[in-house]
Structures are given as structure tokens and as C-alpha cells.
């Protein structure tokens, strides 16, 4: 396969987001066998330092600068990107499966009448045909998908599956692109960026985290997990459904929309292991998962696994630790 | 305010789902089905908005006969109209075709707002909402956690969830489409008695998929499933601890002490 790959860069608060580095590193290995050129486009306002950093990592960088592009909105990105993509003619347009990718990629691909495959783990070409792998049912099945033949394809790649290697080359060509927005015609207005609330406990500082999943059953039963947290000196954290149900406060949410944690020990209790959660804890030093389903995707990221009933296993562990810590 | 909510019925998968012999689909027989979790929050948000500001909620779903269960659920929860676009179970259509069909049908009615769930439990694509908004040429916001209606300005103010606790605040001109994130509200409970009553007496408007597809013209799937296979944990990478709870505890504590965590 020959052609260009265009990565749409993500940045927030004057920093390039980790996902962009992950994609740029991951793509270098994915396109090893193809004659494809890795290019990127960054949209923003007064981000010259970011532009310099990026230009060392790709063959060619497009920079669309405009005060309207200081913050991401689907509409400004859509109108700025369509002419560029038409002019460059990339085979693949790639973003992360992030809040930005989920918001923009389906809409932009629809506007350009191109196939879009979200949340991909990888891709390959067989002749002219594009195949990707993605997960179904929260990671229980894998699905191989073939895109209908087209001149370009849109993909979002799952965050956390590639490791940024930080390899830099010489600074390459940066092409500035001017835009001409019809500002009055905008249907979407950006009003502000809210920062994460700072009240409550900071779970990212904890050495030991005991994670609560929906498998725990109900709010009352969280007490059994809390006992384990107490004897280990750890803190309780939870998956999104647990926070949504009000079993634990919001500041204890681990995952894509919550906190990214890397404790010495993470014990996942009744957590199935959806990628939105595991992205937030899979870099923990030791991961122990307890689940009654031997096929639960959490065992893909765990170092040690226990299949069984939480309410038999956790109390046994708790009392054992208690006896070890205070020998009679 | 007139609000459409797109509902999807998903299979409840606890263990490993069975794959069809042709490896292209999942055998849903025997699996419980329910309203996609994200869509339950979208439905609730629509009901809350119309309770506060007036107007009606319509629910729409596409799929086999079974999806009428989620439409009856919508009616029992408070929706005034339900539309079913019948598609046989094994028909290979993708989210692009679904979005095109939905846009064709919804366009026939006046609406201020369309709500969908942010993603589906089964395919996890998060694709239909923004695609539908593009087809209808209306603004959208995804992963929405707060909605404030501004009737005088004919707009809504929304907060959408980004990563790690950040939120965007946006104003969208109406009509608009929002994809709703879980946790925005607490979906109401619908008793089985009430649901049964609506299943007996509720009305569902049935619409022909073939007519909508021929109206839409050249709409074909843009992707197809080639092969499904189980994604099992690699047990070579994870060490499984077995035995009685006591035996497991002993192994685990020894391990934690040797690693210096305890």
C-alpha cells in the first residue's frame, strides 16, 4: 500500500495529549511494511511550541492557526479540515478514540462520505482492502472488519494500546494553512473549559487502590471491599457505573473520564474490565483481579487472577492480612 | 420542546457470547435483551426536559420485532409516540445505514432536539449520534452531562465530558442533537405492571425499512464484519490463584509480602 496517513493532533491546555504520541509511535510500526508517509495536522491558536515539537515526529506537518481554533469544537475543526483533506488526499485519516475523536470522526467521515471505523486496535491492508480489529461486548469478542473500498478511510485508535517511544527526527517541513471562517454562521459556540474539581481525596497519590466494580452488587456490599481497603491501608476507587450509581463519590472514579492511577497494588473487585476503565489502571505495578467470570476482560490486564465469589474470597483475604499484621 | 430519542436494544452478555456458524454475527437466542444503558439516560433526560419546559418525547428504534420491547418501555416511561423501523435480525447493515434511515424518518416530523446514548453496549462505536447530526445538518455535542434549555434564544447550553474530569461548556442553536453520557440523571423505574399495560394498549407506529432505504437512494454499508472470534484473556500472561478462599489468601499474602507491598 502506498499513500499518506494524516493524524489529527489533539491538545489541551497548551500540551499535546498523550494519545497523539501513542498514535504517532504506534503507526510507525503498523505501516512498517507499507510505503506510506506519516503526516499530521494541528489546529490551534498561538501554539508555536507545540508545532515545533510535532514537526520532529512526522514527515510533514500542517498547521492551521486561527483564534477561532483555540479550543476544539466539531464545527470549526470540520470546516478547517475538509479543504485540507481534499487537497492532501490521505488514504487514512486517524484520531484517538477520545472525547474529541468520538465527537469529530463520525461527523467528518460522514461529511466526506468515507468509511469510518471507531475504536480500532490495529489495521492492515491486503492489496487495496483495509481490515481492522476491534472489540465487541466490552472486550468479550474481537471483530475483524473490512471497510468498503474508498479513496480514504477514517479510523479512531484505542487509547492506551501503543507506547509513545519519544523518537524524534530532524524538524520537518511545516506548512501553514490559512482559514476563512464564516463566524456568524456557526451553530456551536464554545463558552468555556471547566477544570476538574479539586475537592476530596486524591487517589492518584495512593500506593494501594482497591477497585470496586458493578460485580460487587450493591452499595451495601461495598463495605466488604472497604474492609479490605482498611487492612491494606489502601483507598477505595470505582468504575464509572459504580460512580454513576452513587456507591462512591466522583473523585474516586478510575478510567478514561476519571483518574489515571499507577499505584504499587491495584485489586480489582468485580470489575469486568471495559477498556474505559482499564486505561486508567493498567499501568499499576501489581494488578490482582477477583471476578466470578473466567472470561472477564479484566484478566487481560491482571498479573494475578482469582475466579470466584467476591464475598467468600475478600473476607478470607481481609482476615488473613489482619492476622499477619497483628499476630497474637 | 419536541424531543426524539433514538433507542437501541442490546443483548445482556454475562459470559462469552455464542458466535454464529458463519462467524459474522452473534447468536442472540436465549440471551436477555434490554434497553442500551446509555439510551436509558437519554430517555430520562428527554422526559425531564419536556416535564420542565413542555412538549412531547418520541422514541424511535430500528431492528427485529423484539425491539418493540424498548419502545413500549419508552411509552411506559412517558414518551407520547413510538416508531419502529423493522429490520430482520440477520440483515447486515452498519451504523452508517442506520443513521441514514433514522434521518429519513425523523425528518418527517418537527423536532427541537434529538437525543441518543453516547455509545452502545454491544458494538461500543459511539458513531450514530454525530453521523445523524451531519446527515440532518444540525449541530451536535457528544458525551453530554448537563443540558440547560434557553427558550428565548432558541438554544441550549450543554456541558460535555472530556478526559480526566475536564468539561467543555457549549451553546448550540436548536434544533440540535446530543449524545448522552451515563450518570447525567437517574433513569426512572418502570414497574413491570405498568410495562405490561402499555404492551397491551400502547400504540407503535410501524414504518417500512425498504421504503426508507429506497427514499434514501444510494445508501450502502461502509463496513462489514468478516469474522468474529472470542477475545479470551491470555492465561499465559496472568497467573491464576486457585483453591479454597483460605488457600487463595495464603498464596496472595505470601506474594504481596515477597513483593514488598504488605
User: What confidence tens digit (pLDDT) does each residue in A25-66 have?
Assistant: 999 989 988 999 999 999 999 999 899 999 999 999 999 999
The predicted pLDDT at position A185 comes to 87
Is B225 among the domain residues?
no
Q: Cβ neighbours of residue B11 under 8 Å, at least 6 residues apart?
A: A137, B17, B26, B28, B31, B32, B33, B122
* Strand stretches in B81-210, DSSP E: 81-86, 113-117, 140-150, 155-161, 167-173, 176-180, 205-208
CATH topology identical between A2-185 and A203-325:
yes
B222 in a domain, yes or no? no
Q: Clarify whether residues B161 and B241 are in a common domain.
A: no
Residues of B in contact with A258 (CB under 8 A): 164-165
Is there a single domain that holds both residue B238 and residue B211?
Answer: no
The shortest CB-CB distance from B127 to any of A116, A137, A299 is to A116
- Judge: A115–B222 Cβ closer than 8 Å, yes or no: yes
Q: CA A217 to CA B189: how far, in whole Å?
A: 18
3-class secondary-structure state, position B31 = coil
B131, B167, B235: residue with CB nearest A194: B167
Distance CA A199, CA B214 (A): 55
Residues of B in contact with A324 (CB under 8 A): 253, 257, 262
Do B137 and B239 belong together in one domain? no
Look at residues B53, B111, B85 and name the one whose alpha carbon lies nearest to residue B207: B85
A187 with B14: Cβ contact below 8 A: no
What Cα–Cα distance (Å) separates residue B247 from each residue in A225, B3, B238, B252? 19, 57, 18, 9
Strands B167-173, A188-194: pairing is: antiparallel
Pick the CATH number of A2-185 from 2.40.40.20, 1.25.40.10, 1.10.150.80, 3.40.50.620: 3.40.50.620
Domain match, B26 and B74 both: yes
Show the domain range for B258: 233-262
Interface of A with B in 136-165 (CB under 8 A): 136-148, 150
Residue spans of the domains in chain A: they are 2-185, 203-325
The domain total for chain B is 2
**What is the Cα–Cα distance from B142 to B121, expressed in whole angstroms?**
16
Q: Report CB contact under 8 Å: A107, B130.
A: yes
The answer on B119 and B89 residing in a single domain is yes
- CB A257 to CB B257 under 8 A? no
Measuring CA to CA, how many Å separate B46 from each of A2, A49, A251, B38, B233?
48, 44, 27, 13, 39
Residues B197, B255, single domain; the answer is no
Give me chain A's average pLDDT, please.
Answer: 94
pLDDT value of residue A197: 84
Complex-level ipTM = 0.95
Select the residue of A111, A243, A288 nearest B134 (Cβ to Cβ): A111
Q: Do B171 and A232 touch (CB under 8 A)?
A: no
The answer to whether B174 and B155 are in contact (CB under 8 A) is yes
pLDDT of residue A172: 78
A-chain residue closest to B230, CA distance: A141
Domain assignment of residue B228, yes or no: no
Q: Which residues contact B151 (CB under 8 A, 6 or more apart)?
A: B1, B53
Instruction: Examine the domain organization and report whether B142 and B169 are in the same domain.
Output: yes
What mean pLDDT value characterizes chain B? 95
CATH code at A203-325 = 3.40.50.1220
pLDDT at A181: 82
Please check whether residue A259 is in contact with residue A240, taking contact to mean a CB–CB distance below 8 angstroms. no
CB within 8 Å: A244 and B141: no
Q: B160 with B246, same domain?
A: no
Closest CA of chain A from B238, distance in Å: 5
**pLDDT tens, position by position, A120-169:** 999 999 999 999 999 999 999 999 999 999 999 999 999 999 999 877 77
B223 located within any domain: no
B249 vs A320: CB contact, 8 Å cut-off?
Answer: yes
- Give me the residue from A71, A136, A295 closest to B123, CB to CB: A136
Residue A328 has pLDDT above 70, yes or no: no
Dist CA B140 CA A8 (whole Å): 20
Longest CA span, chain B? 68
CB contact under 8 A, A140 and B96: no
Q: Could you tell me how many residues make up chain A?
A: 328
Q: Is B11 domain-assigned?
A: yes
Residue with cell 462489514: B224
Cβ-Cβ pairs closer than 8 A, A with B, add up to: 262
Looking at the fold, whether B159 and B239 belong to one and the same domain comes out as no
Q: Compare B109 and B235 and report the one with higher pLDDT.
A: B109
Distance from CA of A168 to the nearest CA of B (A): 27
Spell out which residues of chain B touch residue A109, defining contact as CB-CB under 8 Å: 131
Whether residue A37 lies within 8 A of chain B, CB to CB, comes out as no
pLDDT tens figures, B26-51: 998 889 999 999 999 999 999 999 99
CA B152 and chain centroid, separation: 31
pLDDT in tens, A13-28: 899 999 999 999 999 9
Which residue in A73, A107, A138 has the most chain B C-beta atoms within 10 A of its own C-beta, making it the best mutation to test that interface?
A107
| CATH label of the domain that carries residue B98 | 3.40.50.620
The grid cell for A274 is 471495559
Q: Is the dihedral of CA A281, A286, A288, A294 positive or negative?
A: positive
The pLDDT score that the predictor gives to residue B243 is 95
Contact at CB, B169 and A321, closer than 8 angstroms: no
Residue B104 lies in a domain: yes
Mean pLDDT confidence for B173-178: 98
| Vertex B91: Cα angle to A140 and A101 (nearest 5) | 55
Whether residues B242 and B204 fall in one domain? no
Instruction: Pick the residue of B118, B157, B177, B231 with the most A CBs within 10 A to test the interface with A by mutation.
Output: B231
Are B131 and B249 part of one and the same domain? no
Q: Does A320 touch chain B (CB under 8 A)?
A: yes
pLDDT (tens digit per residue) in A189-204 = 999 999 988 888 999 9
- pLDDT above 80 (res A327): no
Q: Do A148 and B221 touch (CB under 8 A)?
A: yes
- Cβ-nearest to B125 among A118, A293, A305: A118
Chain A, 277 to 306: residues with Cβ < 8 Å from chain B are 286, 288-289, 293, 295-297, 299-300, 302-306
pLDDT digits (tens, 9 = 90+) for A211-231: 999 999 999 999 999 999 999
Residue B100 and residue B52 share a domain: yes
Q: Enumerate the residues of chain A whose CB falls inside 8 A of the CB of residue B225.
A: 143-145
Phi/psi at B201 (5° precision): -115, -10
Amino acid at each position: 500500500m502506498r499513500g499518506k496517513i494524516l493524524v489529527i493532533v489533539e491538545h489541551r491546555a497548551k500540551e499535546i495529549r498523550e494519545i497523539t504520541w501513542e498514535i504517532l509511535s504506534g503507526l510507525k510500526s503498523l505501516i512498517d511494511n507499507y510505503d506510506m508517509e506519516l503526516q499530521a495536522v494541528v489546529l490551534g491558536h498561538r501554539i508555536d511550541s507545540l508545532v515545533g515539537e510535532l514537526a520532529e515526529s512526522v514527515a510533514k506537518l500542517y498547521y492551521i492557526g486561527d483564534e477561532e481554533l483555540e479550543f476544539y469544537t466539531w464545527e470549526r475543526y470540520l470546516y478547517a479540515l475538509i479543504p485540507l483533506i481534499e487537497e492532501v488526499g490521505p488514504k487514512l485519516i486517524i484520531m484517538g478514540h477520545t472525547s474529541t475523536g468520538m465527537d469529530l470522526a463520525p461527523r467528518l467521515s460522514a461529511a466526506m462520505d468515507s468509511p469510518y471505523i471507531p475504536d480500532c486496535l490495529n489495521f492492515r491492508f491486503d492489496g487495496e482492502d483495509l481490515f481492522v480489529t476491534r472489540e465487541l461486548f466490552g472486550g468479550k469478542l474481537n471483530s475483524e472488519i473490512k471497510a468498503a473500498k474508498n479513496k480514504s478511510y477514517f479510523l479512531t485508535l484505542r487509547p492506551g494500546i501503543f507506547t509513545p517511544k519519544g523518537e524524534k527526527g530532524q524538524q520537518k517541513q511545516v506548512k501553514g494553512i490559512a482559514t476563512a471562517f464564516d463566524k456568524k454562521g456557526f451553530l456551536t459556540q464554545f463558552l468555556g473549559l471547566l477544570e476538574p474539581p479539586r475537592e476530596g481525596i486524591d487517589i492518584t497519590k495512593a500506593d494501594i487502590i482497591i477497585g470496586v466494580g458493578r460485580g460487587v452488587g450493591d452499595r451495601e456490599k461495598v463495605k466488604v471491599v472497604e474492609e479490605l481497603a482498611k487492612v491494606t491501608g489502601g483507598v477505595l476507587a470505582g468504575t464509572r457505573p459504580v460512580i454513576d450509581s452513587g456507591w462512591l463519590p466522583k473523585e474516586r472514579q478510575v478510567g478514561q473520564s476519571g483518574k489515571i492511577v499507577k499505584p504499587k497494588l491495584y485489586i480489582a473487585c468485580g470489575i469486568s474490565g471495559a477498556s474505559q476503565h482499564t486505561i486508567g489502571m493498567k499501568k499499576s505495578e501489581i494488578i490482582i483481579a477477583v471476578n466470578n467470570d473466567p472470561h472477564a476482560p479484566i484478566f487481560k490486564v491482571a498479573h494475578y487472577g482469582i475466579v470466584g465469589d467476591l464475598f467468600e474470597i475478600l473476607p478470607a483475604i481481609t482476615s488473613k492480612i489482619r492476622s499477619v499484621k497483628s499476630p497474637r | 420542546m419536541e424531543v426524539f430519542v433514538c433507542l437501541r436494544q442490546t443483548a445482556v452478555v454475562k459470559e462469552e457470547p455464542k458466535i454464529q456458524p458463519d462467524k459474522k454475527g452473534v447468536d442472540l437466542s436465549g440471551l436477555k435483551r434490554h434497553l442500551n444503558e446509555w439510551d436509558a439516560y437519554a430517555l430520562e433526560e428527554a422526559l425531564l426536559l419536556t416535564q420542565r419546559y413542555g412538549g412531547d418525547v418520541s422514541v424511535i428504534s430500528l431492528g427485529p420485532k423484539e425491539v418493540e420491547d424498548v419502545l413500549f418501555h419508552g411509552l411506559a416511561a412517558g414518551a407520547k409516540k413510538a416508531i419502529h423501523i423493522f429490520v430482520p435480525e440477520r440483515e447486515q447493515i452498519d451504523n452508517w445505514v442506520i443513521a441514514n434511515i433514522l434521518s429519513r424518518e425523523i425528518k418527517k416530523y418537527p423536532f427541537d432536539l434529538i437525543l441518543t446514548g453516547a455509545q452502545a453496549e454491544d458494538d461500543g462505536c459511539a458513531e450514530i449520534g454525530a453521523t445523524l447530526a451531519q446527515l440532518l445538518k444540525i449541530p451536535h455535542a457528544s458525551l453530554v452531562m448537563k443540558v440547560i434549555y434557553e427558550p428565548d434564544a432558541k438554544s441550549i447550553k450543554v456541558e460535555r465530558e472530556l478526559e480526566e474530569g475536564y468539561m467543555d461548556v457549549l451553546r448550540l442553536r436548536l434544533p440540535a442533537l446530543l449524545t448522552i453520557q451515563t450518570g447525567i440523571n437517574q433513569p426512572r423505574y418502570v414497574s413491570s405492571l405498568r410495562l405490561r399495560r402499555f404492551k397491551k394498549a400502547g400504540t407503535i407506529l410501524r414504518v417500512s425499512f425498504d421504503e426508507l432505504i429506497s427514499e434514501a437512494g444510494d445508501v450502502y454499508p461502509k463496513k462489514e464484519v468478516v469474522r468474529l472470534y472470542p477475545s479470551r484473556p491470555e492465561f499465559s500472561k496472568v497467573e491464576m490463584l486457585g483453591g479454597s478462599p483460605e488457600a487463595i489468601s495464603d498464596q496472595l499474602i505470601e506474594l504481596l509480602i515477597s513483593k514488598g507491598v504488605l
